[in-house]
Amino acid sequence: MRVSGTARPGFDGVRDAFADVVADSRGGAAFSVVRHGEVLVDLWGGLADPERRLPWREDTLCVLFSGTKGVMAAVVAALGVLDPGSEVRRYWPGFTAGVRVHHVLAHTAGLPYVEADHDLLDNRACADLLATQAPLWTPGTRVAYHALTYGYLVAELLRRTTGRSAGQAVAEVLARPHALDLHLGTPAHLDERVARLVRAPDYRISTFLDDPERRRIVERMYAGLLDSDDLINSARYRRAELAAGGATGTARAMATLYDLLAAGRVASRDALALATRTWSVGTDAINDRPVHFGLGFELPDPIGTYGPATTAFGHSGAGGGRHGAWPEAGLGFSFLTNELRAENADGRADRLLAALHDAL
């Protein structure tokens, strides 16, 4: 399939790696690298809609899934209205558990799913249920990825401290000031630009996990979100402002965001240093996957999520998306794809980041 876009001289290896990724795809993809405001790599190719055989274009938007968590981490760091050490109930009267803000952001709160019956697209209702739910463990004693509840909790904290919805915060703090093609609560007039998501035949979540009892916990965590092509491709999903996984954007927008973060132009350097130091690390108590978190950002882990760079921060997304910064190189990068693959069978972003590292 055709590859379009540009790669600066010296980055031919990145273009070759991307061409291999697209050639092996049922869908499409984009990869962008931005350093100090200069676009070094901006490539796209394949099919944005495999059903209608529509090509991926320069302005194709794609659902970020959990790449959205990194966007929200950037909002939190930029606003500076949440004290990581404060209890959630300081900002949220009626929140009953002794959870602190950093527990929420670093996935140690012990609230990885909503216990009661709920509509996973209703942020306020899910937040209300979590406010009185007992944690599965003493907050701070274990780390386990909060796939959807991270978003309900962060969105409610921001609403209570700023009066903004999560989508408004993304627009007003990030997208508009920095001219980013990035949206949480994607408006209807952009629907035709959104790539249609497809799942590889062997796609599954939590591929590090074999225990059947904890597999049932994972199923509660995701509440069927990634099991339904109709749901993940629905306008209702994109409109819901899910702060854990519902944003859309272009690879160029995400690479630019992380370039701006690395340069101290979104949050102060002190705020970024606080957000990108270790707040939790270890083996996920539910998923058996090695994890390493700052305040909402993923950090380098033993399985090389952020490539060969020794210093990095960002956030990956379900199915293969990878977005982040290499601060020592002074750049941001983003790999977006609409073909969801299982983590243990997906080396696309790894190949691209290895080629990028070689090019530098």
The DSSP string of 34-46 is EETTEEEEEEEEE
How far are the Cα atoms of 11, 105, 148, 258 from residue 301, in angstroms, in the given order? 26, 17, 21, 19
Q: What is the pLDDT of residue 209?
A: 82
- The average pLDDT across 283-302 equals 96
What's the one-letter identity of residue 145? Y
Alpha-carbon gap, residue 176 to 186, rounded angstroms:
14
**What structural domains and CATH numbers belong to the chain?**
3-359 (3.40.710.10)
Provide the token pair at 47. Answer: 């099919």
Token pair 């530098």 is found at: 360
Helix 149-162 and helix 67-79, axial crossing angle in degrees, nearest 10:
20
Alpha-carbon gap, residue 267 to 261, rounded angstroms:
7
Per-residue confidence band for 201, with pLDDT thresholds at 50, 70 and 90? confident
| pTM of the predicted model as reported, rounded to 2 decimal places | 0.97
DSSP state of 324: E
Q: What is the dihedral of CA 174, 254, 261, 351, to 10 degrees?
A: 170
- Residues 135-180: pLDDT tens digits? 999 999 999 999 999 999 999 999 999 999 999 999 999 999 999 9
**Long-range contacts: 43-46, Cβ < 8 Å, 24+?**
43/3, 43/4, 43/5, 43/6, 43/7, 43/14, 43/15, 43/18, 44/3, 44/4, 44/5, 44/251, 45/1, 45/2, 45/3, 45/4, 45/5, 45/18, 45/19, 46/1, 46/22
313: phi then psi, degrees, rounded to nearest 5: -155, 155
Range with the poorest average pLDDT among 37-51, 193-207, 214-228, 335-349: 214-228
Cα angle vertex 236, ends 314, 337, to 5°? Answer: 40
Q: What is the pLDDT of residue 238?
A: 97
Range with the poorest average pLDDT among 24-28, 85-89, 129-133, 341-345: 341-345
* pLDDT for 206 beyond 80: no
Alpha-carbon gap, residue 298 to 292, rounded angstroms:
6
Alpha-carbon gap, residue 283 to 299, rounded angstroms:
14
Q: Name the 3-class secondary structure at 281.
A: strand
Per-residue confidence band for 212, with pLDDT thresholds at 50, 70 and 90? confident
Per-residue confidence band for 87, with pLDDT thresholds at 50, 70 and 90? very high
Q: Name the 3-class secondary structure at 238.
A: helix
- Residues 221-231: pLDDT tens digits? 888 888 888 99
- Residues 269-292: pLDDT tens digits? 999 999 999 999 999 999 999 999
Q: What is the pLDDT of residue 228?
A: 80
Burial pattern 21-51, b for ≥16 Cβ within 10 A else e, equals bbeebebbbbbbbbbeeebbbbbbbbbbbbe
